[in-house]
Amino acid sequence: MTTRREGILAHIASILAATSGINGVYRSRVEAFARDEAPVIIIEPAADRCVPITTCKLAWTMDVAIVVHTRGNVPDTLADPIIQSAHSILMADRTLGNRVIDIVPTTMDPQRDKADMTSLWQINTYQVSYRTSQSNLATG
């Protein structure tokens, strides 16, 4: 049985496959991308924070990085419609199919590759709120 956290991340990757203008969606990819693979989206968990809300429940806040990788003469311009499409998909159902309490965007951070200025890693962070049982991270 997977944790609620992993189920949420898998669901985000699944729905973002419908993002316009991409060649793929990856979860925490560690291999380098070939030049012809871009544009792609990478889903990465960031920080998780937890507070007990009752004797049996935990309230979690997870930061999820939705990284849009593009290559081109003006990579930030290439990333813009992809970011818009992905954002629209995520905001269409802010409960992510009743998996979470809410998802909200928090930051957008463009990162240029100094060795290859045609490469952009646009990191779009979303804060996801969800709950689990205190004794089992797979149940809510």
Each residue's pLDDT, cut to its tens digit, for the chain (140 residues) gives 799 999 999 999 999 999 999 999 999 887 777 888 999 999 999 999 999 998 899 999 999 999 999 999 999 999 999 999 999 999 999 999 999 999 999 999 999 878 788 899 999 999 999 999 999 999 98
Distances (CA, A) of 46 to 5, 10, 123, 135: 11, 14, 11, 23
Phi, psi values for residue 129, rounded to 5°? -105, 130
Closest CA to 131 of 14, 15, 63, 49: 49
CA distance 34 to 131: 38
- Entry pTM: 0.93
Q: What are the phi and psi torsion angles at 90 (to 5°)?
A: -65, -35
Q: What domains appear along the chain, each with residue ranges and CATH number?
A: 4-133 (3.30.70.1700)
